[in-house]
Amino acid sequence: MNKLLIFGYNRYMREAGQNLDIAKKRVEMLRGTPVLLRVNEGRNRINCYHGIIEEVYPSVFTFRIDDIDKVKTFSYNEVQTKNVMFLRPETVV
């Protein structure tokens, strides 16, 4: 029996035409500036962090959180799939 697979719109999949180079350039442009980072950590857990992008590496970037002086690492794939979003610091979420 043949099954017909129909793929619908999934907002968590990457957008057509984007690649990791575009996500990396976006992160490099924000390096050193204060941003609000909105992170989807799964199972309806969304955290927001104030801080700066500290370092940019070939496959990941580091983000220093202001309040607790902790460093978190994220991949460009998370930016591309919108699990990590950059917002203006004055934006209320």
| Alpha carbon distance 74, 64 (integer Å) | 11
| Strands 46-56 and 34-40, sheet pairing | antiparallel
Residue pair 55/81 in contact (Cβ under 8 Å)? The answer is no
pLDDT for res 4:
47
Residue pair 63/51 in contact (Cβ under 8 Å)? The answer is yes
Q: Which of 11-25, 37-51, 75-89 has the lowest mean pLDDT?
A: 11-25
Helix ranges (H only) for 16-85 are 20-30, 76-80
Question: Is residue 61 over pLDDT 70?
Answer: yes
User: Across residues 61-77, what is the average pLDDT?
Assistant: 94
Ordered by start, the domain boundaries in the chain are 20-87
What's the pTM value of the predicted model, to 2 decimals?
0.75
Q: What is the CATH number of domain 20-87?
A: 2.30.30.100
Q: Could you report the per-residue pLDDT of 24-51, keeping only the tens digit for each? A: 999 999 999 999 999 999 899 999 999 9
